[in-house]
Structure 1
Amino acid sequence: MSVKNRVPFINVRLLWRAGVLVPGVAGEFGPDAPQGFEAARLWAPHTAHCVDDDGGGEWRMGMKPPAAVRSIDRAINSVTAVVVVAMMVHVTVHALSRFLFQAPLPVTNELIEYMYMPIVALLGIPSALLQREHIVATLFTERMTVANAVFFRALGAVIGVVVSAAWAFFGAREATHNMEIQAVAGISAVTIWPIYFIVPIVFTILAALYAYNAVMIIRNNEPDPDLLLEKAAES
């Protein structure tokens, strides 16, 4: 795969700075420019698609995603990374302490079950949607005309908004109830009620992302838009 461009290299940078994506083309970025899709990520990181010499993909015109979407993606990735690292360190210290000193760290299992894993699992849901790593059944839509596929994918996104909003609402009620009773983990004294609020937070974000997804589908007339506009389209 090679990334090509019909416009002068300086214009590529100007378009990137202006927030406009680069249309697809012929001619390399330049003799000293990196080759392949990484060149697109380096010189025009907000481009939606790249050109495949084997006949697939093309550059798409469009704007940078809203700052809120990019901020959500960065925040989710940062929090998830911190929690995963913290869990790994905690488990490692727990195992070493039990093996070397016969004194395992207390309430490790409760913290993993009621704190670390729920955060990682729930944050993975909006992250999968943003990164286009969620499971999509295209058995019917891929056989439809573009107009029909756009309609049904937009309808699916709207249903996603409704379902996510419902989960956020009932999750908030459950979180409030657990706060009132000061819920703890099993028979231990570990307070776990704050973690219940991750459910309404995550599903509120997910509802907003589904709404944005629906707008992108209709505006771009594309059944499967890239919400971050940074990945290569499938050939």
Structure 2
Amino acid sequence: MTTPSENAAAPRWFRAIEYIAGAAILVIMVHTLANVAARALFNSPLPDTNEWSAFWYLPIAALGGFILAQFAGEHIEATLIYDRLDARNRHVLDIGATLVSIAVSCAFAWFTAMEAAHATSIGLRAGVTSVVIWPIKWLVPLTFVLLVILMVAKVVSLIRNRQTLLLAAVDASPIPGA
């Protein structure tokens, strides 16, 4: 299976998110390794390693992954019942489930934006450390807005595809008396 990033036509923003999320994972590994080495060699860990990993690197990697999975259509699916439906019902279910996902993602975008605004107003930091985390809080509503945009595009595509399927079915049907 070819992933969108392996496709020459993959959008630049997709590749950018892919590289940023991959870099975040790499930075987690390097920072953690440096922390372990400092603890072993100097008997003193690097300050705030856990906070940087949990509040900065991990959200960048995970939220980027959500967007990449939605764009590539690679979210986990439980198809036990779905596979038993006929094509028309699967299509209706795809549209309905995507519309529900859009509504839920809009709600998440709104509420996480309110949380990010509050975090910004108080200059939120990670616990008692000096690690400022309020800027990364804005990544969550941004992610949900991007997911909504991708899901709206999916619904439009599904509706257009359904119209194409209907037209093809009409064209393929035998004309009585011809």
Structure 2 length normalisation: TM-score?
Answer: 0.81
Mapped pair 1:75 → 2:16: yes
User: Aligned AA for 2:31?
Assistant: H
- Aligned 1:23-102 pairs, distance under 5 A: 45=7, 70-102=11-43
* 1:214 to partner: Cα distance: 1.2
Question: Equivalent residue for 2:173?
Answer: none
| Structure 1 SS opposite 2:138 | helix
Question: Equivalent residue for 1:152?
Answer: 93
- Larger helix percent: 2
Mapped pair 1:165 → 2:115: no
State the alpha-carbon separation in 2 of the partners of residues 94 and 116 from structure 1. 15
State the alpha-carbon separation in 2 of the partners of residues 153 and 71 from structure 1. 27
5+ residue gaps, structure 1: 1-36, 47-63, 223-235
Could you say what the CA RMSD is over the residues aligned between the two structures, in angstroms? 2.2
* 1:77 to partner: Cα distance: 0.6
State the alpha-carbon separation in 2 of the partners of residues 138 and 216 from structure 1. 21
5+ residue gaps, structure 2: 164-178
* 1:216 to partner: Cα distance: 2.0
State the alpha-carbon separation in 2 of the partners of residues 93 and 140 from structure 1. 48
User: Aligned AA for 1:82?
Assistant: A
Question: Equivalent residue for 2:147?
Answer: 206
* 1:112 to partner: Cα distance: 1.1
State the alpha-carbon separation in 2 of the partners of residues 93 and 219 from structure 1. 52
State the alpha-carbon separation in 1 of the partners of residues 153 and 54 from structure 2. 32
Deviations 1:183-223, CA, capped at 9 Å, x for gaps: 1111112111111001011101111111111122222249x
* 1:109 to partner: Cα distance: 1.0
| Structure 1 SS opposite 2:70 | helix
State the alpha-carbon separation in 1 of the partners of residues 98 and 120 from structure 2. 32
* 1:94 to partner: Cα distance: 1.3
User: Aligned AA for 1:150?
Assistant: H
In the alignment, which of 82, 107, 115 is matched to residue 48 of structure 2?
Answer: 107
* 1:169 to partner: Cα distance: 1.0
State the alpha-carbon separation in 1 of the partners of residues 38 and 127 from structure 2. 24
1:158–1:71 Cα change, 3 Å: farther
* 1:140 to partner: Cα distance: 2.7
User: Aligned AA for 1:137?
Assistant: A
Question: Is the Cα–Cα contact under 8 Å of residues 106 and 144 in structure 2 kept in the other structure?
Answer: yes
1:214–1:72 Cα change, 3 Å: farther
Aligned-pair identity in percent equals 36
Structure 1 length normalisation: TM-score?
Answer: 0.62
State the alpha-carbon separation in 2 of the partners of residues 196 and 72 from structure 1. 21
In the alignment, which of 129, 152, 157 is matched to residue 188 of structure 1?
Answer: 129
State the alpha-carbon separation in 2 of the partners of residues 131 and 172 from structure 1. 26
State the alpha-carbon separation in 1 of the partners of residues 13 and 151 from structure 2. 13
Question: Is the Cα–Cα contact under 8 Å of residues 21 and 62 in structure 2 kept in the other structure?
Answer: no
| Structure 2 SS opposite 1:138 | coil
* 1:103 to partner: Cα distance: 2.7
Moved over 6 A (4+): none
**After the TM superposition, which of the residue ranges 153-162 and 126-135 deviates more from structure 2?**
126-135
Question: Equivalent residue for 1:121?
Answer: 62
| Structure 2 SS opposite 1:177 | helix
